[in-house]
Amino acid sequence: MELQAARLRARTDASGEIITLLDQDRTRWDRLLIRRGLAALDRAIDLGGATGAYAVQAAIAACHARAHTADKTDWARIAALYAILAHVTPSPVIELNRAVAISMADGPAAALKLVDALVEKNALPHYHLLPAVRADLLVKLSRPTEARPEFERAATLTTNQRERAHLLTRAAECTP
């Protein structure tokens, strides 16, 4: 929890607009909470709990916390940890998160296959992040015409006004 909470101040700007993980000013991350979270993770590992769901989630957060810049993030390790987490606690949300990590480690095409498999299974039909992630991958693959309706669908599925505005902005950016 401390590793997640450490990033709280950097998640929005002064007006409350969303700042995505890759764009966050990591100097605003709370280093004390990071140190405490890493120490707690080390204790859990020492006690033999390294493969429990919470420890794996903490290990993922630790990868982010240890990277002082976005480009230093060990996305291959994060993808591997999500694979472990998917085995420990199978979930379509975990698979979606794994796809995001894979997109960062191996590229958007590899991730889009995983996301499309979730769509085909009708997994997460009311979860706004599924079409949002799919749209983002399509943008990265230079397919903005396909991305726009995905961002718009994601915007209709969220109840958070800031997220809705962010998604609609992303959709508008997809106009040819």
Q: pLDDT (tens digit, 9 = 90+) per residue, 102-146? A: 999 999 999 999 999 999 999 999 999 999 999 999 999 999 999
Distance (Å, rounded) from C-alpha 57 to C-alpha 52? 9
Q: How far apart are CA 128 and CA 164, in angstroms?
A: 9
Displacement of CA 161 from its chain's centroid (Å)? 19
Q: Which pLDDT band, with edges at 50, 70 and 90, does 99 fall under?
A: very high
Distance from C-alpha of 165 to C-alpha of 174, rounded to nearest angstrom:
14
The domain segmentation of the chain, as residue ranges, is 1-73
Asked whether 67 and 86 are in contact (CB, 8 A), the reply is: no
Encode burial over 20-56: b for 16+ CB neighbours within 10 A, e otherwise.
eeeebebeebbeebbebbbebbeebeeeeeeeeeebb
pTM: 0.91
Contact yes or no for 115/146 (Cβ under 8 A): no
pLDDT for 48-64, tens place per residue?
Answer: 888 899 999 999 999 99
CA 119: distance to chain centroid? 18
pLDDT at 176 over 80: no
pLDDT band at 80 (very low <50, low <70, confident <90, very high): very high
Helix axes 75-88, 92-106, angle to 10 degrees: 160
